[in-house]
């Protein structure tokens, strides 16, 4: 009994001690937080060097106001269009007897593996003036010119096709998690499916729609590849042009701060909507289809299949078919194919390093937030999301300034490129880790402490093995996202470094579509590996 009593007293002492995080954990997370804030701090310093008068003159120019209007117009159109499309697809997959629901549940999320710049150059090659469509109809119908695909319409269509899965995943997660009792009760009271949907289902989906739309808005405001290829000037393209002109990089920093402000407003809006719920958790949806559909479609089955097929055709079939067409055409024209393997290895290597580093950095932040909740942990958690709220070009520009002035040894090295990926994608790694850690009972760790093991030993031998699913999922998400990142790679890559993304962008921006086909197919194929892992993980977690 004395041994049991001593063990209980020791357990209580450990619980009292756990109110405050260990010094090592606090120090580690503080260093991580400061490192994440360095780009923002340096942007402020670099911008203020020009003086307040010059800064005010730049920020209040009519061109700056026009860029804000253009950027926000694109954000509103893309987030609204994605919400409508995601709501329709999510309801069909999760709530109806749609044929081949399992297939559509996979097909509709696969556009996540296609970067916006790949989708953009493919649609340009097909639908732009003098593209495939115009050439096909020129001879039989005498059509010598079709409406321009460039500008706002083309950028909006491309970004909707590659970003709607973010909203779709949140909607499907909400539909799967919400009870169907209210819907069934509504139908037993004589309400039809549409009235039940409008009065019962849709109100329950509003938080998920808002969360997914904000994710899409952040994605849109940070996009560089699609808007540059579509020749639609938004902040990211304007910043890149200002930076590469070498005339006045202070202007690029000032524009970056404006973009930071817009992104932070969107981020704070999402945080306010969800309270203390971290933003990255909103898109950790299960990716398998639900069972036991409740709404028979009847004669609407064929229009529903038509909608799903239309999305699959334009978001997957057309891009893959066009890529294969340009690949075959390039091979026939003698295009050199062996040169693409170097960029493929570089992309996979750097993305793997980013995945490992992202998970390694995310672990202490997640442990602090979950095991030691408080003001300090909340502050570190919010700071860790800075990268998610900022476009890659802003982080890259800040690190360029930082590396060239304060850390020249790291400038244009793989270390700085991986650092940018970690800052950008840290919240993506934190989501699965947080979910896994919340499922680990703290008493398991406390039991290890009562046996005399040090906290670090308990974490390494007990906690980490239990976190393995979250570690793998977080690493897969970071790898997938890093493979697609373009502006940070363009600005921070070493001089002798070329990735699949930079190779595709260089070829497509010069309209060398055949040269861009093989690296684009390789990038999609490599990115599909972690995506299928995540889909399989989502299915295995279904009840």
Could you tell me which residues come within 8 angstroms of residue 332 by beta carbon, excluding any fewer than 6 positions away?
none
Phi, psi angles (nearest 5°) of residue 293: -60, 150
The rounded distance, in Å, linking the Cα atoms of 118 and 145 is 24
Token couple for 277:
């719920």
Paired with 96 in beta bridges are 295
pLDDT at 289: 43
pLDDT at 278: 43
First to last CA, the chain: 42
Residue 16 reports pLDDT greater than 60? no
Residue 292 reports pLDDT greater than 50? no
* 291 vs 331 pLDDT, higher one: 331
Q: What is the pLDDT of residues 151-171, one digit of tens each?
A: 898 999 999 999 998 888 878
The rounded distance, in Å, linking the Cα atoms of 400 and 39 is 9
The rounded distance, in Å, linking the Cα atoms of 17 and 23 is 12
Q: How confident is the model at residue 78 (pLDDT cuts 50, 70, 90)?
A: very high
Phi, psi angles (nearest 5°) of residue 295: -115, 115
pLDDT at 190: 61
Residue 77 reports pLDDT greater than 90? yes
pLDDT at 73: 92
Output the CA–CA distances (angstroms, integers) from residue 310 to 273, 330, 365, in the order listed.
Answer: 33, 28, 42
3-state secondary structure of 490: helix
Residue 357 reports pLDDT greater than 90? yes
Give mean pLDDT, residues 94-118. 86
Give mean pLDDT, residues 38-62. 73
Give mean pLDDT, residues 187-195. 63
Residue 541 reports pLDDT greater than 70? no
Q: Pick from 165, 200, 162: which is nearest to 181 by CA? A: 200
Whether domain 21-54+335-543 has CATH 1.10.3720.10: the reply is: yes
Give mean pLDDT, residues 332-350. 81
Residue 96 carries which DSSP code? Answer: B
Give the whole-number percent of the chain exceeding pLDDT 90.
Answer: 11
Give mean pLDDT, residues 468-490. 86
Q: What is the pLDDT of residues 203-227, one digit of tens each?
A: 767 777 777 787 788 888 888 888 9
Token couple for 9:
């007293």
Domain with CATH 1.10.3720.10 in the chain: 21-54+335-543, 61-276+295-334
pTM: 0.79
Looking at 245-340, list the stretches that DSSP marks H as alpha helix, in order from N- to C-terminal side. Answer: 249-274, 301-312, 318-332
Query: Which range among 32-36, 275-279, 339-343, 401-405 shows the weakest confidence by mean pLDDT?
Result: 275-279
- If you average pLDDT over each of 69-73, 144-148, 511-515, which comes out highest? 69-73
CB 258 within 8 A of CB 59: yes
Residue 52 reports pLDDT greater than 70? no
Q: Maximum Cα–Cα distance for the chain, whole Å?
A: 97
CB atoms within 10 A of CB 48: 15
Give mean pLDDT, residues 190-195. 64
Token couple for 362:
């995310």
Q: Pick from 332, 312, 119: which is nearest to 230 by CA? A: 119
Q: What is the pLDDT of residues 305-321, one digit of tens each?
A: 999 999 999 998 888 88
* 3 vs 58 pLDDT, higher one: 58
Give mean pLDDT, residues 133-157. 73
The rounded distance, in Å, linking the Cα atoms of 343 and 506 is 13
Residue 351 carries which DSSP code? Answer: H
pLDDT at 131: 66
pLDDT at 1: 46
Give mean pLDDT, residues 229-249. 77
Q: How confident is the model at residue 189 (pLDDT cuts 50, 70, 90)?
A: low
Mean pLDDT, the chain, whole residue set: 78
Residue whose token pair is 């889909």: 535
3-state secondary structure of 61: coil
Residue 56 reports pLDDT greater than 90? no
CATH of domain 61-276+295-334: 1.10.3720.10
* 344 vs 464 pLDDT, higher one: 344
Looking at 151-224, list the stretches that DSSP marks H as alpha helix, in order from N- to C-terminal side. Answer: 152-177, 181-188, 193-196, 202-222
Give mean pLDDT, residues 240-253. 70
């Amino acid at each position: 009994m004395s041994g049991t009593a001593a063990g209980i007293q020791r357990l209580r002492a450990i619980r009292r001690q756990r109110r405050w995080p260990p010094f090592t954990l606090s120090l580690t997370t503080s260093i991580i937080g400061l490192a994440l804030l360095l780009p923002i701090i340096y942007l402020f310093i670099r911008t203020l060097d020009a003086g307040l008068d010059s800064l005010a003159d730049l920020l209040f120019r009519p061109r700056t106001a026009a860029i804000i209007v253009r950027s926000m117009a694109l954000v509103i159109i893309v987030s609204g269009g994605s919400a409508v499309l995601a709501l329709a697809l999510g309801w069909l997959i999760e709530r109806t007897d749609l044929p081949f629901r399992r297939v559509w549940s996979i097909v509709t999320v696969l556009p996540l593996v296609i970067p916006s710049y790949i989708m953009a150059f493919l649609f340009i090659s097909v639908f732009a003036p003098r593209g495939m469509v115009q050439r096909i109809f020129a001879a039989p119908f005498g059509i010598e010119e079709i409406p321009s695909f460039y500008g706002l319409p083309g950028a909006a269509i491309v970004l909707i096709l590659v970003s709607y899965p973010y909203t779709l995943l949140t909607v499907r997660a909400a539909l799967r998690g919400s009870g169907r009792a209210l819907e069934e009760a509504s139908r037993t009271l004589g309400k039809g499916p549409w009235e039940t949907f409008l009065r019962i289902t849709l109100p329950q989906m509003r938080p998920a729609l808002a969360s997914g739309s904000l994710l899409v808005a952040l994605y849109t405001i940070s996009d560089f590849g699609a808007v540059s290829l579509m020749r639609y000037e938004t902040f990211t393209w304007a910043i890149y042009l200002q930076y590469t002109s070498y005339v006045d990089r202070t202007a690029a920093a000032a524009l970056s701060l404006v973009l930071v402000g817009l992104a932070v407003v969107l981020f704070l809006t999402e945080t306010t909507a969800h309270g203390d719920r971290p933003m990255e958790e909103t898109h950790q949806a299960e990716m398998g289809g639900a069972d036991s559909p409740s709404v028979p479609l009847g004669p609407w089955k064929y229009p529903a299949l038509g909608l799903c097929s239309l999305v699959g055709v334009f978001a997957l079939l057309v891009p893959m078919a066009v890529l294969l067409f340009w690949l075959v055409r390039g091979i026939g024209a003698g295009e050199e194919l062996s040169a693409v393997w170097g960029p493929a290895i570089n992309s996979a290597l750097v993305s793997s390093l980013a995945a490992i580093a992202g998970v390694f950095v995310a672990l202490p932040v997640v442990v602090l937030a979950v095991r030691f909740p408080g003001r300090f942990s909340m502050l570190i958690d919010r700071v860790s999301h800075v990268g998610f709220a900022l476009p890659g070009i802003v982080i890259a520009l800040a690190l360029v300034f930082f590396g060239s002035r304060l850390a020249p040894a790291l400038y244009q090295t793989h270390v700085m490129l991986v650092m940018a990926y970690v800052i950008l994608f840290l919240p993506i790694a934190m989501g699965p880790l947080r979910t896994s850690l919340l499922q680990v009972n703290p008493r398991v760790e406390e039991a290890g402490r009562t046996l005399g093991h040090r906290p670090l030993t308990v974490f390494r031998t007990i906690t980490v093995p239990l976190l393995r699913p979250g570690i793998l999922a977080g690493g897969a998400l970071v790898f997938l996202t890093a493979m697609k990142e373009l502006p940070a790679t363009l600005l921070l890559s070493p001089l002798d470094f070329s990735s699949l993304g930079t190779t595709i962008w260089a070829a497509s921006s010069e309209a060398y579509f055949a040269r861009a086909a093989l690296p684009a197919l390789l990038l999609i194929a490599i990115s599909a590996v972690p995506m299928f892992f995540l889909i399989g993980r989502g299915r295995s977690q279904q009840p």
